[in-house]
Structure formats: structure tokens, C-alpha cells
Structure 1
Amino acid sequence: MPNNMEGRGLTDREIMQLCLELEKGRARSIASVLLETSHSELRKIYQRCMDTVLDNQKQIFDNMRQSGYYVVPQATPEQIAEMQGLLQNNLNPGSQV
């Protein structure tokens, strides 16, 4: 439901989109720190932070989909198989002959 009475404020969709973008940014920042952290205890702390951010992002995303704000088309079986092949090749580049 919009909350921008008489053109003031943001709509619910805009607020949710901003929240989603903030969580994505937090995830990128934490991922960057995790890649550079060698101290095991500090790494565990950042991993817990990452888990929280990913959970938040998923919850916002799910709410947006349920509200019709974020429409995601279903992948075909062919698209899924193609992506699986690409991922497999990227994870095991030496397995191709």
C-alpha cells in the first residue's frame, strides 16, 4: 500500500527496494572483508554477520515477490541444465578435454 500521500514520502515498494539494495551492499562489503580476513575468530564473526545479512536479504526479497514488487520468471529445464553445465565447467576447469 502506498504511503506517499499527496506526493510526499516513498511508496512501500520503494522502501523495500532500498532495503534490498542496502542488504546487497552489506553482503558485498562483508564478503570483501571475509576474503581478506585471516584471524579465525574475526572471520567467524564476519561469517555470522554474512549469514544474518543473507537471511535479511532473502526475507525482503520474499516479501517483495509476495507483494508483486519483484517478479522473477521461472527458468526452463533447459536453462537450468545450461547453467549447471556452466557452473560445473567453472568449478572444474581442468576436467574439459
Structure 2
Amino acid sequence: MTEKTRLKAIRFPEYLVRDLSKHVRRGKQSDFIIRATEEALLRLKQAKALKEYQGVFTPDEYPEFRDRESIEAWVRNLRQEAEERLARWSRDEK
């Protein structure tokens, strides 16, 4: 099923139109702009959510979020656990 679309007239600076034409082939420019807009909106929504929920994870209740180093260690550990789980599942399927 094809997603419904709407035409939206948007003005772009000339330099941006030139760069778009130079780097993205004709016929793919709308897709490129749509993907770029989706990515920018996602970042905008994430920033808004972060601002809205700022302070929810207090260091007393969540020491893993105390500082940048703690967060990085927590993420590394999460990734390691996921890799180990995946390795176990791969072995079990054989």
C-alpha cells in the first residue's frame, strides 16, 4: 500500500537548490528531502523530550546516569550483554 502524499510548496535558498541538484540525482530529490526532514524532526522531538524530562533520572536513584563516564559504561555494558545474548542464540540454533 502506498502512503498518501500531499504537495507542499516550500521555498529553498538558491544555493541549497544548486547543491541538491549537484549531489542528488533528479527523481531522488524528493526522497532525499523527505528523509532529511524526518531525521531533523526526530532530533527536534528527542531534544524536546529530553528537555521535558530533564531531572527525572536523579543520581541518587540512578547512579548509572551520574555523569558522562557512567552513562558510557552503562551503554557499553548493555551492548556487551546484547552481543553475548545474540552469540548464545546463534549457538543454540546450530
Give TM-score scaled by structure 1 length: 0.30
Q: Which has the larger radius of gyration?
A: 2
Kindly indicate whether structure 1 or structure 2 has the higher relative contact order, using CA contacts under 8 Å at least 6 residues apart: 1
